[in-house]
């Protein structure tokens, strides 16, 4: 019974957020002519989530990011959504007995079977997001920032973590989740953005009167083990992919129908993507340039073109103005030389690493990317060793078919344009996620065009799409089964069970647990080689891997470390945490006994296990007060 109530509490919190998002999105998009319910839901929900994130961002700027304020606004958003639904024709159709009878007859009953299968698949995805956060970036800084915003009731710069300041749209959604419930709802929101992307891909197929094609395209997106892993974690890469794809989808409708409303919506969604990560600026800028071509072809009036450009500037500016205010560089950590002091040192150091990930930036290597990304993903730093669907190998087929087919050309253009941008920057596999929806549509529309030209039996396309769907879904889920065996079912529902779960699976958590049990309010902890644990420290964290901490690390020699120790004391650092297992060279923890041969006279070791050392600042003797 306790487990059921726990599940219902998280489902309710998640549903409340989604209802509020639908209400906000529908206020803006109610006059849009959507082709299907799926298309309407995807655009409305994504737009609503983006709008709420902007609202909370503004509240954070003025110091009103209180839990009570967030809950009150959310309840108001739910009421607006329910009023909208009650006044719609969909509410009336719910009570039409004749309509429900039709769904139970053939072939409508197959729609119900499809819906049942989709709900079953969603249930499998849902339970994977119900475990405490374990993946690196989520616990190293994404959730840390979101919690810090909520605790401080405003947007802050957290100088102690890897990225102290970022475009915050996705983080405002995480803050929303933490205010309503907890970090599991934050993971469910990221999973929602993953599913919105899949729903939009299906809606595109349905729009072309090829629903099975849409199912296969959605399955292609969900068939990547990397996508599924990120979609169940509090990362932001799935979020930016969702907004980018919907933005380009809207621009495609504008390009086909020449309605300015879709031009504005596409740019707004791409600006929301830019509010999550800087690659969104690439798409927003390219889309704005595309508007100039549209104006030359008379698809846009001059005032519509200028209004779109103004919209891009207005929606992108807040996120980057906040970064510029603190880092003197709106694009930090990119363009490091625009920054100064520690901000420059941190950005320059990190890009020396990020910029060298992948393969040399040559034209031949660019052409061979589909092969390398699928067969040698280790070159591109895959998170948790999660790979891509092998079907990416076929992507070059779309490069050829783009010559003959206008629709293939559209999706291939966006896929290749972003791939070139990614190839010339940091070639981390996770960063290429944004291209996957375009790659899938370009490949599958190429295949569909070829099958149509061959004039084969009408049943062949359906068999192809169903086969590709099953292959993708099975391939994507396979790595997750092994992880679930390690995590065990059911997920922890009490604080004690959660602590035991983290102790069992998280290297170094015993040391974190010790500090949390003994730390006093207001104290801080300095962590070496333990970034993945940052979110679980109750005291304020200063991570040695933080970009603003790179120029001031300990040397483990005295008196050389005296300035560093005094800096720690000035920041009320009472605890030093060290993960001594597999410490990288950059940390260089000496292999000596810290009890008999201490590193610093003011810190003594108070806890040790096979992986962790914990030091505490010695109390000041009474005679020194």
Average pLDDT, the chain: 91
The three-state secondary structure class of 615 is strand
State yes or no: pLDDT of 154 exceeds 60.
yes
The three-state secondary structure class of 606 is strand
pLDDT band of residue 89 (cuts 50, 70, 90) is low
pLDDT band of residue 366 (cuts 50, 70, 90) is very high
Residue 579 lies in domain: 506-624
Give a yes or no: residue 304 inside a domain.
yes
Percent of the chain surpassing pLDDT 70: 95
The angle, 0 to 180 degrees and rounded to 10, between the axes of the packed helices 495-505 and 459-487 is 100
Tokens, residue 605: 């070791």
List Cα–Cα distances, 130 to 108, 121, 178, 340, 396, in angstroms.
34, 15, 14, 42, 38
pLDDT on residue 446: 94
**DSSP assignment of 401-446:** HTTT-HHHHHHHHHHHHHHHHHHHS---GGGGGGGHHHHHHHHHHH
328, 336 Cβ separation under 8 angstroms? no
Give a yes or no: residue 119 inside a domain.
no
Across the range 534-546, mean pLDDT stands at 94
Domain at 530, CATH number: 3.40.50
Give a yes or no: residue 63 inside a domain.
no
pLDDT band of residue 217 (cuts 50, 70, 90) is very high
Residues 502, 516: Cα–Cα separation, whole Å: 14
End residue of a domain, out of 312, 345, 378: 345
State yes or no: pLDDT of 108 exceeds 70.
no
Tokens, residue 422: 């990614």
pLDDT on residue 296: 92
Give a yes or no: residue 536 inside a domain.
yes
154, 60 Cβ separation under 8 angstroms? yes
Q: Which range has the top average pLDDT, 121-130, 273-282, 542-551, 614-623?
A: 273-282
State yes or no: pLDDT of 621 exceeds 60.
no
Give a yes or no: residue 612 inside a domain.
yes
Residues 612, 591: Cα–Cα separation, whole Å: 13
Tens-place pLDDT, residues 373-416? 999 999 999 988 899 999 999 999 999 999 999 999 999 999 99
In the numeric block, the tokens 């309407």 are attached to: 40
List Cα–Cα distances, 562 to 361, 580, 601, in angstroms.
44, 22, 9
State yes or no: pLDDT of 88 exceeds 90.
no
End residue of a domain, out of 325, 345, 365: 345
Helix intervals (H) in 258-403:
260-274, 279-296, 302-327, 341-354, 363-367, 369-375, 395-401
Give a yes or no: residue 534 inside a domain.
yes
Among 196-205, 239-248, 462-471, where is mean pLDDT lowest? Answer: 462-471
List Cα–Cα distances, 15 to 81, 172, 525, in angstroms.
12, 17, 37
Residues 392, 399: Cα–Cα separation, whole Å: 13
Give a yes or no: residue 446 inside a domain.
no
The three-state secondary structure class of 339 is coil
443, 400 Cβ separation under 8 angstroms? no
List Cα–Cα distances, 357 to 229, 287, 379, in angstroms.
21, 28, 7
State yes or no: pLDDT of 350 exceeds 70.
yes
End residue of a domain, out of 345, 362, 387: 345
Phi and psi angles of residue 607, each rounded to the nearest 5 degrees, phi first: -155, 140
Residues 110, 249: Cα–Cα separation, whole Å: 28
Number of domains in the chain: 2
pLDDT on residue 104: 56
pLDDT on residue 622: 46
Across the range 579-583, mean pLDDT stands at 82
pLDDT band of residue 419 (cuts 50, 70, 90) is very high
Sign, CA torsion 466/470/475/476: positive
State yes or no: pLDDT of 624 exceeds 50.
no
List Cα–Cα distances, 136 to 140, 141, 187, 227, in angstroms.
6, 9, 14, 15
Nearest Cα to 134, choosing from 506, 382, 430, 496? 506
Across the range 517-545, mean pLDDT stands at 94
What secondary structure letter does DSSP report for 299?
Answer: S
Among 87-91, 339-343, 420-424, 522-526, where is mean pLDDT lowest? Answer: 87-91
Percent of the chain surpassing pLDDT 90: 74
pLDDT on residue 500: 94
pLDDT on residue 391: 94
Give a yes or no: residue 590 inside a domain.
yes
List Cα–Cα distances, 550 to 132, 158, 531, in angstroms.
29, 15, 13
């Amino acid at each position: 019974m306790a487990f059921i109530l726990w599940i219902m509490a998280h489902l309710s919190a998640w549903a409340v957020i989604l209802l509020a998002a639908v209400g906000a999105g529908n206020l803006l998009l109610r006059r849009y002519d959507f082709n299907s319910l799926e298309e309407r839901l995807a655009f409305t929900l994504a737009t609503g989530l983006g709008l709420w994130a902007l609202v909370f961002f503004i509240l954070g700027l003025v110091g009103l990011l209180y839990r009570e304020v967030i809950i009150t606004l959310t309840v108001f958003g739910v009421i607006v959504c329910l009023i909208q639904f009650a006044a719609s024709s969909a509410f009336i159709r719910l009570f039409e007995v004749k309509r429900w009878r039709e769904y139970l007859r053939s072939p409508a009953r197959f729609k119900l079977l499809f819906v049942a299968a989709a709900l079953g698949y969603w249930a499998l995805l849902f339970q994977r997001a119900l475990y405490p956060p374990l993946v690196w970036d989520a616990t190293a800084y994404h959730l840390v920032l979101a919690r810090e915003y909520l605790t401080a009731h405003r947007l802050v710069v957290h100088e102690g973590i890897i990225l102290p300041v970022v475009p915050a749209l996705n983080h405002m959604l995480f803050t929303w989740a933490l205010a309503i419930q907890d970090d599991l709802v934050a993971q469910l929101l990221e999973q929602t953005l993953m599913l919105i992307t899949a729903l939009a891909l299906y809606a595109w197929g349905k729009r072309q009167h090829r629903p099975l094609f849409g199912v296969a395209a959605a399955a292609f997106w969900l068939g990547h083990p990397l996508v599924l892993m990120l979609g169940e974690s509090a990362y932001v890469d799935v979020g930016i992919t969702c907004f980018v794809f919907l933005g380009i989808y809207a621009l495609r409708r504008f390009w086909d129908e020449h309605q300015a409303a879709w031009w504005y919506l596409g740019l707004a969604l791409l600006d929301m993507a830019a509010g999550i990560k800087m690659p969104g600026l690439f798409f927003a800028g390219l889309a704005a340039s595309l508007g100039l071509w549209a104006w030359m072809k008379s698809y846009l009036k001059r005032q519509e073109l200028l209004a779109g450009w103004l919209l891009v500037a207005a929606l992108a500016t807040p996120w980057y103005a906040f970064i510029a205010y603190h880092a003197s560089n709106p694009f930090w950590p990119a363009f490091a030389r625009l920054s100064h002091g520690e901000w420059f040192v941190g950005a320059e150091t990190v890009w020396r690493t990020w910029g060298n990930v992948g393969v040399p930036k040559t034209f031949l290597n660019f052409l061979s990317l589909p092969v390398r990304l699928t067969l040698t993903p280790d070159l591109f730093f895959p998170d948790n060793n999660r790979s891509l669907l092998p079907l990416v190998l076929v992507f070059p087929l779309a490069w050829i078919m783009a010559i003959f087919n206008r629709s293939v050309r559209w999706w291939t253009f966006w896929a290749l344009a972003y791939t070139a941008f990614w190839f010339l920057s940091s070639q981390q596999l996770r960063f290429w996620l944004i291209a996957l929806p375009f790659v899938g549509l370009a490949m599958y529309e190429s295949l569909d065009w070829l099958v149509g030209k061959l004039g084969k039996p009408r049943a062949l396309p359906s068999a192809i799409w169903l086969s590709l769907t099953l292959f993708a879904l099975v391939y994507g889920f396979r790595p997750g089964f092994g992880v679930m065996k390690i995590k065990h079912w059911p997920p922890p529902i009490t604080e004690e069970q959660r602590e035991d779960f983290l102790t069992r699976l998280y290297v170094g958590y015993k040391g974190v647990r010790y500090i949390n049990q003994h730390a006093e309010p207001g104290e801080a902890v300095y962590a070496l080689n333990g970034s993945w644990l940052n979110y679980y420290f109750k005291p304020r964290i200063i991570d040695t891997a933080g970009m603003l901490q790179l120029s001031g690390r300990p040397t483990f020699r005295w008196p050389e470390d005296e300035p560093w120790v005094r800096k720690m004391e000035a920041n009320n650092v009472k605890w030093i945490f060290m993960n001594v297992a597999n410490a990288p060279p950059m940390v260089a923890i000496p292999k000596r006994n810290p009890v008999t041969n201490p590193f610093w006279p003011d810190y003594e070791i108070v806890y040790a296990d096979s992986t962790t050392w914990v030091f505490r600042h010695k109390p000041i003797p009474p005679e020194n007060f």
